[in-house]
Structure 1
Amino acid sequence: MTEAVLPTEVLGRAAVRAAVLQTLPLFEMMRMRAATTARRHPRLGFASEQRDSTMRWVNQFTHTHRRLGPDDREVVSPNNDTVYSNTWLDLSAGPVLVETPDMGDRYWTLGLLDAWTNPFAYVGRRTTGNRAQRTLVHGPGWRGTVPAGMDNVIAAPGEDVWIIGRILVDDTPADLEQVRALQAQIVARRLDGGDAAMRVDTLLDGRAVAVPPAALYRRIVDAALARNPVPEGETLPWPVGEEALARELPHVLEELRHTEQPHALGGGWALAVAVRSHWGEDVQTRARVARNFIGALGIDEAMYPTAEVDAAGDPLHGSNRYELRFPPGGGPRVGAFWSLTLYRRSDCLFVANPIDRYSIGDRTPGLRLEADGSLVIGLQADDPGPEGNWLPTPAGELFYVVLRLYQPQHEHLAFLYAYPPLRRR
């Protein structure tokens, strides 16, 4: 950056706070790049032989091959419906070609996020279909010719793009193996067909979640800004002096950790993330989501209504028994599938239970309807018997639930759907 550093006396504390709020998504995305990219390439080896090196491979997909459970602690509020495929694209050396196989009739999506956390594009069932596809992703400075045979062309607003892939899977050995074979066919190539993998220095430890040193924060933001322009319509007072950053960073991060700004849906339900493809002028919410829910998809692809309280407004607790009752024909309106997932409040993770069930939904085998056609889900710590649709709760602990809606329909997107509250039994 060539601009003169602006001291706190010139900017004022409010302006420094605003600069931190604006740039925090950049820092958090670069931290996630460091945390989620691979140290080792299957053919080219380690990005660095130094174990504490910050060198990583980009333009290389990594995959999880099973659904997450209570022993997985790396990600909070994890999804229990799909497996993940992940890559970071570096477009500075030219476009990257992403190849995906025919997915049959199963749900899948590749969500593309820019460095400012805008979920700006998708490839997958909802947007481009399930056929085998070749997707060209290029940066803002590329002026080349699109080769023949491209199914999709995506222009990224910057040179760094995070692709988070989700593929629906049944928890059976046969289906897990089939999905594993599909994941192996998701690859990133150069236009000449060669491996697109590149080594990059991420400059930081992606596992560190504490308040970063001001010098590191500024170094990361400077590097990210040079590759990812400020979104159109924003004016960024940057760079800011390290002394001013050191004073404001702890306050802003603490504020974002405790301040919730969900969209109330009624019945004790709220929507923490309501972005579609771009955050626009809502810099405050963009920063909060970057700190607490980074990687969230836009609501056209998936919505995650969350309930922490029951119908009376009391916190959900494992010492109580609850029911969630969808009236006849009144279940969630989705184009793909829905599930209700339960997490312990203290650590936002799954809780081990005797039937190894961490979510329940329209794909759950043996789901029973009431005589009138209602769907009732029982949430309690003790086994209600074979007649109930049981989602086990942690005995004696606070918990919350997330209603995951994949390809939500108009009633949800227009906030017209009546979400039933959880009631004490």
Structure 2
Amino acid sequence: MTLHTPSAHDTAAAEAAVIQTLPLFEMMRMRAATTARRHPTLGFASDEPGSSWRWVNQFTHTHRRLGPADREVVSPNNDTVYSNAWIDLSEGPVLIESPDVGDRYWTLGLLDAWTNPFAYVGRRTTGSRPQRTLVHGPGWRGKVPAEVTHTIAAPGHDVWLIGRFLVDDDGPDAERVRSLQQALRLRRLDGSDAAMRVDTALDGRDTRIPSSRLYRATVDAALRGNPPPEGESLTWPLDDDALASALPAVYERLRNAGQPHALGGGWAIPVMVRTHWGEDLLTRARIARNFIGALGVDEAMYPTAEVDVEGQPLDGSKRYELRFAPGRGPRVDAFWSLTMYRRSDCLFVANPIDRYSIGDRTPGLHTEPDGSLVIRLQAQDPGPGVNWLPAPPGELFYVVLRLYQPRAEHLALQFDYPPIQPV
């Protein structure tokens, strides 16, 4: 028996193809992980307990903000609850029905199977009145019903919808948002429930490097309904040995590759995309592996700081302050928040005041006599009259400044982010 050793050319071609197609695989993995086994009225997608069949064209929701006990999502936000749906357009268009949301911040972000955040429904783009949004796949030429308020043409048959609704508390306001989430519907043009059964053929909980056989089968299936983006050609490798060699090499490369956009003062932005990744296939793959589901910067930006003004790692055994000069706070059309995370696991930090983020909606926010806004980052309570974001005692941490509907100064990377100063 002669073992085939891939040539350098085979290996390079396979690695390039993996970098190009990895977003497809990771999106299908997320579909398997975030779709429901059970429909509220139609029952289980399969009677087999270990089955990979799931429901698509169906909303699932979180009805409370995440806290330190929640460990499924890294670097979660503490501002919104989520509504999630995978839309399958292979059997025709789908109508998204959304209620009157009022003045509340909300967005439904749509990503294609290649992770391009190509469209939105929500406060920034379509407003907050009751809406019926028609989403259709490529090639559909049907008649648009009169009651449709917006039409979205998707580039492929698979779309990930990630919804966010601002929540001010975990009590009465959370209940108001729950009623808004439950009013979201996915329907066919005839008004029927759009829910479909789909075999995801994956264990979405398994985040390990996939086998070449699973990777190829998953990508082949996804490509049938989701061709490469316009202008992008794909050379899909046929050599199993080259593919098997390329997968661990690429996944390791993506774990270490790619630096965020530096903003100065220790701040950086891990993700900078608007509606399409364009020709930057390596960054697209890195984000798909490490930050999948990222929306475009027009909707939200996430400047992140892991070091202080001196370039030293932020440490919970020390005290720091972040000072926004008078009139120089974040420029946003919705709201902003600063969230604290432990470096060791990228999760919230349990603390005596149950505060995991601080921002322009925080009750009792104190400004200095000159109008400055100072936020203290430390483990110990600094006392009354201080804006305190608790840090993990004796552990390294990082902070994320979330900017919802950032203004032009942020989008152009011209905002002067104040450095974090040791006290």
TM-score, L = length of structure 1: 0.97
Q: Residue deviations 1:151-178, cap 9 Å, x none? A: 1100000000000000001114111110
The answer as to whether partners of 2:56 and 2:86 remain within 8 angstroms in 1 is yes
Shift of 1:12: 2.6
Secondary structure of 1:150's counterpart equals coil
The answer as to whether partners of 1:126 and 1:301 remain within 8 angstroms in 2 is yes
The answer as to whether partners of 1:31 and 1:205 remain within 8 angstroms in 2 is yes
Distance 1:36 1:241 in 2: 32
Secondary structure of 2:24's counterpart equals helix
The answer as to whether partners of 1:261 and 1:285 remain within 8 angstroms in 2 is no
Distance 2:46 2:341 in 1: 37
The answer as to whether partners of 1:368 and 1:389 remain within 8 angstroms in 2 is yes
Match of 2:162 in 1: 164
Match of 2:88 in 1: 90
Match of 1:27 in 2: 25
Match of 1:194 in 2: 192
Q: Residue deviations 1:271-302, cap 9 Å, x none? A: 11000000000001000000000001100000
Shift of 1:341: 0.5
State the AA in 2 paired with 1:349. Answer: L
Match of 2:61 in 1: 63
Which structure 2 residues correspond to residues 66-85 of structure 1 after superposition, within 5 A? 66-85=64-83
Q: Residue deviations 1:33-63, cap 9 Å, x none? A: 0000001000001111211110000000000
Shift of 1:139: 0.3
Match of 2:99 in 1: 101
Distance 2:116 2:108 in 1: 14
Q: Residue deviations 1:105-164, cap 9 Å, x none? A: 000000000000000000000000010100000000212111111111000000000000
Aligned residues: 419
Match of 2:377 in 1: 379
The answer as to whether partners of 1:88 and 1:161 remain within 8 angstroms in 2 is yes
Match of 1:53 in 2: 51
Which has the higher mean CA deviation after the structures are superposed, 113-122 or 41-50? 41-50
Residue 348 of structure 1 is aligned with which of 328, 346, 351? 346
Residue 36 of structure 2 is aligned with which of 30, 38, 59? 38
Identity %: 74
**Does residue 1:255 correspond to 2:277, yes or no?**
no
Match of 1:3 in 2: none
Distance 1:37 1:241 in 2: 32
The answer as to whether partners of 2:316 and 2:378 remain within 8 angstroms in 1 is yes
Secondary structure of 1:25's counterpart equals helix
State the AA in 2 paired with 1:89. Answer: I
Provide runs of 4+ in structure 1 moved above 2 Å.
7-12, 239-242
Match of 1:140 in 2: 138
Secondary structure of 2:402's counterpart equals strand
Distance 1:116 1:48 in 2: 28
State the AA in 1 paired with 2:47. Answer: E
Secondary structure of 1:16's counterpart equals helix
Shift of 1:83: 0.3
**Does residue 1:182 correspond to 2:180, yes or no?**
yes
Q: Residue deviations 1:330-373, cap 9 Å, x none? A: 00000000000111111111111111111000000000000100
Secondary structure of 2:221's counterpart equals helix
The answer as to whether partners of 2:109 and 2:295 remain within 8 angstroms in 1 is yes
Shift of 1:8: 4.3
Distance 1:337 1:306 in 2: 17
Shift of 1:239: 3.7
State the AA in 2 paired with 1:154. Answer: I
The answer as to whether partners of 1:311 and 1:422 remain within 8 angstroms in 2 is yes
Distance 2:148 2:6 in 1: 50
Stretches of structure 1 lacking an aligned partner (at least 5 in a row): 1-6
State the AA in 2 paired with 1:273. Answer: V
Secondary structure of 1:288's counterpart equals helix
Match of 1:4 in 2: none
Shift of 1:242: 2.2
The answer as to whether partners of 1:8 and 1:16 remain within 8 angstroms in 2 is no
The answer as to whether partners of 1:59 and 1:89 remain within 8 angstroms in 2 is yes
Indicate the RMSD between aligned Cα atoms, in angstroms.
1.0
Distance 2:378 2:242 in 1: 50
Distance 1:8 1:142 in 2: 43
Distance 1:131 1:237 in 2: 45
State the AA in 1 paired with 2:17. Answer: A
Which structure 2 residues correspond to residues 26-425 of structure 1 after superposition, within 5 A? 26-425=24-423
Shift of 1:10: 8.8
TM-score, L = length of structure 2: 0.98
State the AA in 1 paired with 2:140. Answer: W
State the AA in 1 paired with 2:340. Answer: L
The answer as to whether partners of 2:10 and 2:242 remain within 8 angstroms in 1 is no
| Distance 1:10-1:259 versus aligned 2 partners, 3 A rule | closer
| Distance 1:145-1:11 versus aligned 2 partners, 3 A rule | farther
Q: Residue deviations 1:168-223, cap 9 Å, x none? A: 01114111110000001001000000000000000100010111111000000000
The answer as to whether partners of 1:70 and 1:350 remain within 8 angstroms in 2 is yes
Shift of 1:403: 0.4
